[in-house]
Amino acid sequence: DQQVKQNSPSLSVQEGRISILNCDYTNSMFDYFLWYKKYPAEGPTFLISISSIKDKNEDGRFTVFLNKSAKHLSLHIVPSQPGDSAVYFCAATAGTGTYKYIFGTGTRLKVLA
């Protein structure tokens, strides 16, 4: 039961260009979405989040877009830097209960210098 999907397992981008990571979800009860970055042998690090009442949230080089009708969100990184190379997970949660996160399978981003 994959409620959150990241269909691209990997992505390579040239330094300075835009990285776009995509995520789709199926559960219409999700109302809060997050992106996490993960390096090997480390815990996920929070990057940016968005509530379902918004369609865009920006924080420095990171922007998350939410298209509720399409049940799709994306993370834009501009400009991409070599230090951004990591695995990126999107996560979703519903605004009730314990707010557990449902994670996608991750996209490995490689930024080429």
Partner 1 sequence: EPEVTQTPSHQVTQMGQEVILRCVPISNHLYFYWYRQILGQKVEFLVSFYNNEISEKSEIFDDQFSVERPDGSNFTLKIRSTKLEDSAMYFCARATLYNEQFFGPGTRLTVL
Binding residues for partner 1 (CB under 8 A): 32, 34, 36, 41-46, 49, 89, 91, 93, 95, 97-106
Report the distance separating Cα 108 and Cα 106, nearest Å: 7
Compare residues 19 and 93 and give the one whose CB is closer to partner 1.
93
Q: How far apart are CA 27 and CA 72, in angstroms?
A: 11
The nearer residue to partner 1, 80 or 106, going by C-beta atoms, is 106
Task: Provide, rounded to whole angstroms, the least separation between the CB of residue 16 and partner 1.
Answer: 29
Euclidean distance between CA atoms 53 and 108, whole angstroms: 28
Provide, rounded to whole angstroms, the least separation between the CB of residue 2 and partner 1: 9
Nearer to partner 1, 4 or 80 (CB): 4
Cross-strand partners of 20: 76
Distances (CA, A) of 111 to 18, 20, 81, 87: 10, 12, 6, 11
CB of 42 to partner 1, least distance (A): 6
